[in-house]
Structure 1
Amino acid sequence: MAISAAAFAAQGTFSGGGDEAGRVIVQLPPSPPPAGTSSFAAATPAAASFSTTVGGFTYDWTALQAAIDTDTEVPNGYFIVGNATDPGYLFAYQKGAFGIDRVTPLASASKWFAGTLAMRMAQAGIVSLEDPMRPPLAFWTTTGTKKDVRLKHALSMTSGFNANPLVGGCQLLPGLTLYNCAKDIHNLRYDSLRPGNAPGAQYSYGPHGIQVAAAYLEAKDTSLAPGTLPVRERNIHELFAQHVTMPLGMTNTTWYNPATSPPTNPWIAGGAFSTPRDYAKLLRALLGGSFIADMATFTQQRTAGLTRLFVPASAANWEYALGSFVECDTPSLCATSKINSSPGAYGWTGWIDRKTGYYALIATEISTGGDRKGVELEQVMQNLIETAIATRTPSS
C-alpha cells in the first residue's frame, strides 16, 4: 500500500469545521516533532541478511529489519508479522529492550477491543448492532435525535457525541460505574448544541461513543457471575475475558493497568494494557475470519460522506469502521480497502491486510510523537512486507 508517511495525529491534533478545530483531546501525548525532522539515519551500514522459513516458504526480511533498525525515533520495540494459517510468526524482531511479553499501555489501540467484544456478543446473540440504547440504559431519552443512537453509531464515531472532545471527561474517572459515566455523556448538550449531529450524520473521533457502547454491552448482558453473593450480572472485565481474551489465550491483556485493581469505569477507548504476544493473537484471529464470522460487517467503512469534526489530521483520507480505521490513499478507495488498523498514542500499531493475507504489529511505547510515528513506520513497513510476501520462494 502506498499511503504517504505523513504525520499521523490519531489522538492528538484534530481537524474539522468550526472554531474548535485543532483542539487536543485529553488522551493524547504531546504534539509531533516539527516538520522536516527525519527519523531515519542519513547513513546506514549494510544490513545483514535476515530470512525465515515458515510453512514451506522462505521470506527475505532484510529490508524490513533494516528499516526498523535505522528508525531513530523507535529505539525500543517488538515487531511481528504473521498470517492466519501458519502457527509461527513470519517475522519477529526485538529492537532494544522491549520483549515479547512486556505489558504496555495501548492508548487508542484499545478501541479494537471494544469493537471485537461487541461483535463477539452479537455473534452469541446477546446484542445487535442495530440495538437502541434504551431500555438497557434506562436513562436514555425518548425524544430528539439522541433517541436514535444505536450500538453501531457508538462504536463507529458517528453517535453524535464527541463533537467537542474537551479535556477531561468521565471516562477518566475510574471510581464511577460505566453506567453512570454513560449517563453523564448522555446528558451532554446534543440536539440543542449541534442540531446537525443526529446519529449517522457526523464523524467525530473521540472517547465518548466507545464508552457508551461499553456501558450498553455491560447493561445488556444477562449472564450471572458464578460464585457471587448476591448473584449479579457480569461486568465489562468479565465479559471481555469470556468473549475475547480467554478464547484467544490472551493472558496478559486487561482494560486497566494490571498493577491496579479493575476499575468499575475503565477507560474503554484508551486505557487497555497488553503484550506483543497477546495482541498478535487478536490480530491473527481477526485475519483468520472465524473468530468473528461477519468480518465484512466488522471492517466496513461507516463514515464515508459524513461531515467530519475532530478527526485525525493525517488520517483525513481514512474512514472508520467499528473500533478500527479503514486505510486508503483516497476516501473513494476505502470502499474496497482490505486494511484495518488501530494505532495508539504511544506508537503501538496493529493492522490486518486481508488482501495480501497478513497481520502485523508495531509494539512500542514512545512518550513523545508516538501517535505520528506508529503510523509513519507502519506505512514504510507495509510496502516492505508486501514485497517480502510477493517474492517469497519455496523452501524445497
Structure 2
Amino acid sequence: MIDRKKAIWAGACVAAGVIAMAAQAQYGGSGSDTDGFLVQLAPATEPSASATAAPLATAALTSTSTTVGGYIYDWTDLQAAIDADTEVDNGYFIVGNAIDPDYLFAYEKGSFDIDRVTPLASASKWFAGTLAMRMVEAGIVTLDDPMRPPLAFWTTFGTKKDVKLKHTLSMTSGFNASPLVGGCQLLPAMTLYNCAKSIHDLRYDSLRPGNAPGAQYSYGPHGLQIAAAYLEAKDTSIEPGSTPARQRNIHELFSQYVTDPLGMTNTTWYDPSGSAPTNPWIAGGAYSTPRDYAKLLRALLGGSFITDMTTFTQQRTAGLPRIFVPSGASDWEYALGSFVECDMPADCATSKINSSPGAYGWTGWIDRETGYYALIATEISSGGDRKGVELEQQMQDLIEAAIAARTPAS
C-alpha cells in the first residue's frame, strides 16, 4: 500500500476542458483547445450489487455491508466518506474485482443512474490505449511501428521521423507542448488523417531543445489524435478479400476490439445525441455510463482482455523532463493512456495502480496489487478534475481497508 496524498489538478486544465468539451459537443471550430482534465473475452455475467444489498437501480444500498463471493465486506466508512463529501452531490460509485460477477460495492449518491450517459473528458484516454493494445495483440500493429508509411505525409527527416506508436500513446511523442495549445481535434468534420497531418505540420515544437520522441513528457491531446489516425490508416479491411479493401474507421475499430466484446452498449467516442464525426476528439470526447465503464475496468483488471498488462500499464516517462503535467499528477508517471499512480516518481516503478481521471470528476482506476477496480462516475461542471482525484485518493485507503477486513460469510 502506498501513502495517499491529496492531489490537486491544474485549474487551467479544468477551464480548458470545459471549453473544449462544449466545442466538441457543438462540433465547434478551432479556438482554445484542450483536454479536461484483441482475444475475444466473453462478456461477464451482468454485475449486481449482491444478495444482501439493494438492486443497482435503487437510490442507495440498504446496508453498508455486502456479501460477495463467500465474503462479507463492510463499506460503512467508504459510504460515510462519500456522503460527507459536499462537492460531489450526484454520482455513482462502484467497487468490484475480476473474479466475482457481482459488484463488491455499488452506491448512487443523489441522482446519478448507473446507465446515465455522461461525457468523460480525459477519462477517454484509457479507451485509446486499450484500443491500441488490443490491435497490438491482434497482430495489426506494434508499439514500435513508425508513423510512415500508413501516414504517408510523415516526414523522413529530423527527429520527428522517429515518432512511434508507443510515443503517441505515452505523452512522449514530442508534441503536446501544453493542453492549452489549440488543435484540429475539435474540428469533427475533418478526417482523422487530415487532422494528424495538421498536427504533424504545425504542432511539433522543433524549437525546444531535446524535443525528440521519447525524450520529454508533456501531457496533452495531440499525440493520441495521431495515434488514432495511425490505427485507422494501418487497418486493412473489414471485409477480407474484398476489392478494393474497405478500411475500418476508428468507430468501427473501437466497436470491434473494445465495446462489442465487453458488451459496452452505451459507449461512444462522441456525443451519442449527434452523429459519429470523422474526426472524434480522442483524448477527451468520449461518452459512457457507469455500468459500461465498470465493464472495461473489470476486463483490464482480469488480465485476459489484454494479456500483456505489464507492457500496457508500465511507466514510460520515468526520468524525462516534464514539460507539462497536471499538478495533481506531478509525481505520477504515464503509461499507454493511463497514469501510473505513486507518491514519488521513484515509487512508480513498482506501483500497480493505474487511473484515467477526467475534468468533470469521472475517475476510474485498477489496483492490481490489492485486486480491485473502482469508479467514481460523476459530472461536476467546475473543479471536477481536482475533486475526482482527491476523492479517489481518500477512497483508495478505505477500499483497501474494507478488503483487508473482509470476513467469511459462513
Give the TM-score normalised by the residue count of structure 2: 0.87
Query: Which residue in the other structure is 2:9 paired with?
Result: 8
- 1:116-155 equivalences in 2 (<5 Å): 116-155=130-169
Other-structure match for 1:366: 380
Preserved contact between residue 347 and residue 374 of structure 1 (Cα < 8 Å): yes
Secondary structure (helix, strand or coil) at the match of 1:309 reads: strand
Give the drift of 1:5: 1.2
Q: CA deviation at 1:141?
A: 0.2
Does residue 202 in structure 1 map to residue 203 in structure 2? no
Instruction: Report what 2:318 is aligned to.
Output: 304
Q: Which residue of 1 aligns with 2:202?
A: 188
Match of 1:92 among 106, 111, 115: 106
Query: Which of 35, 47, 62 lines up with 1:27 in the alignment?
Result: 35
Counterpart among 82, 101, 118 of residue 68 in structure 1: 82
The reply to whether residue 173 of structure 1 matches residue 181 of structure 2 is no
Q: CA deviation at 1:224?
A: 2.4
Letter in 1 for 2:272: P
1:340-394 superposed Cα distances (whole Å, 9 cap, x missing partner):
0000000000000000000000000000000000000000000000000000000
Matched residues in 2 for 1:340 and 1:301: separation? 10
Deviation string 1:298-356 (CA, Å, 9 cap, x unpaired) is: 00000000010111112111000000000001110000000000000000000000000
Match runs of 1:1-396 below 5 Å: 1-9=2-10, 12=13, 26-28=34-36, 50-188=64-202, 190=204, 192-224=206-238, 232-396=246-410
Deviations 1:234-289 (A, max 9, x none): 10000000000000000000000000000000000000000000000000000000
Q: Distance in 2 between matches of 1:79 and 1:297?
A: 28
- Which stretch shifts more, 194-203 or 95-104? 194-203
Change (3 A) 1:63 1:101: same
Q: Match of 2:107, SS? A: strand
Amino acid at match of 2:5: S
Structure 2 vs 1, CA of residues 187 and 4 (structure 1 numbering), >3 Å: closer, same or farther?
same
Cα gap change, 1:55 to 1:62, in 2 (>3 Å): same
3-state SS of paired residue (1:12)? helix
SS of 2:356's partner is strand
Q: Tell me, yes or no, if the aligned pair for 1:347 and 1:370 is still in contact at 8 Å.
A: yes
Secondary structure of 2:114's counterpart equals: coil
Alpha carbons of structure 1 residues 11 and 222: separation in structure 2 relative to 1, 3 Å: farther
8 Å contact from structure 1 (residues 285, 291) kept in 2:
yes
How far apart are the structure 1 equivalents of 2:307 and 2:62? 41
CA distance in 2, matches of 1:48, 1:294: 39
Identity %: 79
The 1:363–1:191 alpha-carbon spacing in structure 2 relative to 1, beyond 3 Å, is closer
1:196 Cα deviation (Å)? 1.3
Measure the CA separation in 2 of the matches of 1:335 and 1:171. 32
* Cα drift, residue 48 of structure 1: 8.8
1:232 Cα deviation from its structure 2 partner: 2.2
Per-residue CA deviations over 1:196-226 (Å, capped at 9, x if unaligned) read 1100000000000000000000000002269
Give the aligned partner of residue 38 of structure 1. Answer: none
Q: Is the 8 A contact 1:191 1:198 kept in 2?
A: no
Corresponding residue pairs, total: 370
SS in structure 2 opposite 1:343? coil
Contact 2:315 2:334 in 1 (8 A): yes
The root-mean-square deviation of aligned C-alpha atoms, in Å, is 2.1
Q: TM-score, normalised by structure 1?
A: 0.90
* Farther off after superposition, 207-216 or 305-314: 305-314
SS at match of 1:187: helix
Q: Is the 8 A contact 2:13 2:180 kept in 1?
A: no
Aligned partner of residue 243 in structure 1, secondary structure: helix
